Amino acid sequence: MKKFQSPKGTRDVLPAEQKYWRQVEQVLDSLARIFGYERLDLPVFESTALFQRGVGTGTDIVEKEMYTFTDKGGDSMTLRPEFTAGVIRAYLENGMASRPKPVKLWSYGPIFRYERPQAGRYRQFTQFNIEAIGEMDPALDFEIMSAAWQLFSDLKFRNLCFQINSIGCPACRPGYMEQLKAHFRSHEKDLCGDCRNRLEKNPLRLLDCKKETCKPLADRAPRAADFLCKECADHFETLKRYLDSMAMPYTVNPRLVRGLDYYTKTVFEVWAEGIGAQNAVCGGGRYDGLAEILGGPPTPGIGFAAGIERLVMTLMHQQIPVPETGRPDVYVACQDPKAMPEAVRLATLLRQAGTPAVLGFGGRSLKAQLREADNRGARFTAIIGEEELGKQAVQVRDMTKAVQEQLSWTDLITRFRRPRD
Ligand code: HAM
């Protein structure tokens, strides 16, 4: 019979990896609290038109990567390929515009893109996403970037590269696009097929083509920063001043453009070393026109998303220690199977006191049970031996020091009692 496998581009997160996920989730949770973000949960699928309009029909995401289906009512739906469009939809739909600005929201969950799978690139992956909506001030751009900064420093990452750029606004971008098109048109015969196709529709994307033939042309292309209107140039300068004043290292990368159409002014990415070609651990920027594109009033916004699988890969690659999870405090063993009813009771009482406790099943020898306790990483084993039987007592063995003492059940439970989280 056919053996089932997880679908291409998806992965199982096995128990051994869970401690890294838990560490990341705890850091994210406290980051959101420190920076004053409130949690927003969104549906996993939305109307296809939301992403077509929000992310842009000329993007790879909308053109090639969406999981789109027609539901039984005949409506076209899409598994979310990102959070931002959905967040703005929810902001407009739920009247959040009447709240004090900026409205700060965070979301967490699975994202779906039909991409070519490789290390660090999946078809189902997980994003942590933050958005700050309703404020133009470049101090907010700084705040968003410093949240990314703090995230990586709390995770104890080393060797990160912060890349920033400004791609202008509807006032200055058209002029820049014309210059960009003219530059690439004059080298059209040297461009790869993809770039030739994108040249008229989305010339910005030519700047981050990875093909060896296109890279030198992209390097020589006009730079967005040289075509910014006064407002965009001032905005970018102020942001850089904030970053400098807090000594946050960054690189201005004139070729940094992002794969989504809604961006205006500030864009940024953070790259991690050593996790392979898919090294962007987070990406984001401003999207001052998105709410209008989605039928709302003019509403500026800025945010970023980080890919959790890549954060976990970086933790593992950089061998950053994380707290162990799932180790029981106490393994309850019995020397003789006739003590089993007492062992069952003791394990139950320990758990009721909040103590992670594991019970030795199956009437095996004490030696086998101690071996299992060791394999499970139990800190202590409580043994009901011949002498303890019927006396509500146990021999408690410290598994690292291999020393043993007799304790009453009451003392054992008091010693290992844990307050619930
Ligand atoms: P994005 O750059 O497309 O931006 O994705 C953000 C992050 O998600 C990436 O930096 C990466 O860590 C992770 N990621 C993206 N694609 C994959 C994949 N196929 N497999 C694994 N991880 C992946 C956005 O999605 C924007 N909505 C971010 C944003 C929020 N901009 C403003 N606000």
Looking at the structure of the chain, the number of domains it has is 2
Same domain, 261 and 400: no
Domain boundary residue, one of 317, 345, 371: 317
**5, part of any domain:** no
The residue segments making up the domain with residue 404 are 330-416
Same domain, 19 and 130: yes
**210, part of any domain:** no
pLDDT given at position 208: 83
What is d(CA 392, CA 409) in angstroms, rounded to the nearest whole number? 6
Q: Is the CB of 115 under 6 A from ligand 1?
A: yes
Same domain, 345 and 312: no
Q: Is the CB of 134 under 6 A from ligand 1?
A: no
Same domain, 339 and 297: no
Same domain, 57 and 134: yes
Tens-level pLDDT at each residue, the chain (421 residues): 889 999 999 999 999 999 999 999 999 999 999 999 999 999 999 999 999 999 999 889 999 999 999 999 999 999 999 999 999 999 999 999 999 999 999 999 999 999 999 999 999 999 999 999 999 999 999 999 999 999 999 999 998 889 999 999 999 999 999 999 999 999 988 899 989 988 888 888 899 888 888 989 999 999 998 999 999 999 999 999 999 999 999 999 999 989 899 999 999 999 987 778 888 999 999 999 999 999 999 999 999 999 999 999 999 999 999 998 889 999 999 999 999 999 999 999 999 999 999 999 999 999 999 999 999 999 999 999 999 999 999 999 999 998 999 999 999 999 999 987 6
**2, part of any domain:** no
Q: Is the CB of 283 under 6 A from ligand 1?
A: yes
Which residue's alpha carbon is nearest to atom 16 within ligand 1? 121
**CATH, residue 276:** 3.30.930.10
Same domain, 247 and 295: yes
Which residue's alpha carbon is nearest to atom 13 within ligand 1? 307
**347, part of any domain:** yes
Among 260, 270, 286, residue to substitute to test ligand 1 (most atoms within 8 Å of Cβ): 260
Same domain, 376 and 263: no
Q: Is the CB of 168 under 6 A from ligand 1?
A: no
Among 65, 82, 157, residue to substitute to test ligand 1 (most atoms within 8 Å of Cβ): 82
What is d(CA 59, CA 208) in angstroms, rounded to the nearest whole number? 13
DSSP bridge pairs for 406: 395
Same domain, 310 and 336: no
**6, part of any domain:** no
Same domain, 163 and 46: yes
**122, part of any domain:** yes
**Helix/strand/coil (H, E, C) string of the chain?**
CCCCCCCCCCCCCCHHHHHHHHHHHHHHHHHHHHHCCEECCCCCEEEHHHHHHHHCCCCHHHHHHCCEEECCCCCEEEECCCCHHHHHHHHHHCCHHHCCCCEEEEEEEEEECCCCCECCECCEEEEEEEEEECCCCHHHHHHHHHHHHHHHHHCCCCCEEEEEEECCCCCCHHHHHHHHHHHHHCCHHHCCHHHHHHHHHCHHHHHHCCCCCCHHHHHCCCCHHHHCCHHHHHHHHHHHHHHHHCCCCCEECCCCCCCCCCCEEEEEEEEECCCCCCCEEEEEEECCCHHHHCCCCCCCEEEEEEEHHHHHHHHHHCCCCCCCCCCCCEEEEECCHHHHHHHHHHHHHHHHCCCCEEECCCCCCHHHHHHHHHHCCCCEEEEECCCCCCCCEEEEEECCCCEEEEEEHHHHHHHHCCCCC
Same domain, 152 and 265: yes
pLDDT given at position 205: 86
**CATH, residue 339:** 3.40.50.800
**192, part of any domain:** no
Same domain, 271 and 403: no
* Overall size of the chain counted in residues: 421
pLDDT given at position 71: 98
**136, part of any domain:** yes
Which residue's alpha carbon is nearest to atom 25 within ligand 1? 82
Same domain, 310 and 337: no
Domain boundary residue, one of 288, 317, 346: 317
pLDDT given at position 421: 63
Domain boundary residue, one of 266, 285, 317: 317
What is d(CA 46, CA 62) in angstroms, rounded to the nearest whole number? 13
